[in-house]
Amino acid sequence: MNWLADFFGDPSHWSGPDGIPVRLLEHLEFSAAAFLVAALIAVPLGLFIGHTGRGALVVVVAANAARALPTLGLLVLVVLLAGVGTVLPVLIPLIVLAIPPILVNTYQGVRGVDADLRDAAYGMGLRGRQVLVRTLIPVALPLILLGLRLAAIQVVSTATIAAFVGLGGLGRFIIDGLATKTYADVIGGAVLVAVLALAVQFAFVLLDRVAVSPGVRQSR
């Protein structure tokens, strides 16, 4: 606990370009960028595959394989190949990491919608895209949100490692602390990231409450 007091009690940690507010903002900035790009790719693709059933096997196999990819290795390789010092290469492994959970859960959410429900929607005269937007997406929403939540947490966690290749963010406290054996910084940074990850988790629980239709929630 002494370490925590050392870290959070030090006024120099609260201002300047390497203070907690700036680092937190950096962390949120590139996490959000990677997450948004991944969601923009994976949600439409997952909806398409779930709705049409095309390419499902490829997606499931590829997503499983992607889980095995060591992020640290990918990060180091991409940054070395692309050149050190820019943000863009660091985003690539984060995006690669975030796509599988969103894709698989979106696909499974749409696929798992009760066939009777789907037929009923067609029976009421809805067309293909209307069925997707008005029936399949609302019913699949809990799973889609689960995928987005898992991806967001992974991105926020892994963005910590990005400090190793020279990027800012909260990981700086951990990586620099390890390098200089300043354990107060390591623990302080770790606690900050943990709180951020829990906040993301909590935000998605709230989003779930607001966005999922009461009828769908009841049937769960």
Partner 1 sequence: MSDEPLIRWDWIARNWANGGPTAISALLENHIVMAFLPVLLGLVVALPLGLACARWRWLYQPTAALMNVTYSLPSLVLFSIFLSVTGLTRSTVVIPLTFFALAILIPAVVDGLASVPDSVRQSAVAMGFRPARRLLRVELPVAVPVVLAGLRIATVSSISLVSVGALIGQGGLGNLFIDGWQRQFYTPIVVGIVLIVLLAVLADGLLVLAQRLLTPWSRARRTA
Residue 69 CA to residue 122 CA, distance in Å, equals: 41
Closest distance between partner 1 and the C-beta of residue 122, in Å?
31
Q: Does 3 bind partner 1 (CB under 8 A)?
A: yes
Which of 158, 167, 168, 172: binder of partner 1 (CB under 8 A)? 158
Name the segment binding partner 1 (CB under 8 A); options: 9-17, 28-36, 103-111, 175-183.
Answer: 175-183
Residue 198 CA to residue 201 CA, distance in Å, equals: 5
What are the backbone angles phi and psi of residue 87, rounded to the nearest 5°?
-80, -35
Coil/strand/helix, residue 179: helix
Q: Does 81 bind partner 1 (CB under 8 A)?
A: yes
8 A C-beta contact, residue 167 and residue 27: no
- The alpha carbon dihedral of 130, 134, 140, 142 has a sign of positive
Residues 32-71 within binding reach of partner 1 (CB under 8 A): 64-65, 67-71
Residue 17 CA to residue 102 CA, distance in Å, equals: 34
CB-nearer residue toward partner 1: 124 or 198: 198
Q: Residues in the site for partner 1, rule: CB under 8 A? A: 3, 64-65, 67-74, 76-77, 80-81, 153, 156-158, 160-161, 164-165, 171, 174-175, 177-178, 183, 186-187, 189-191, 193-194, 197-198, 200-201
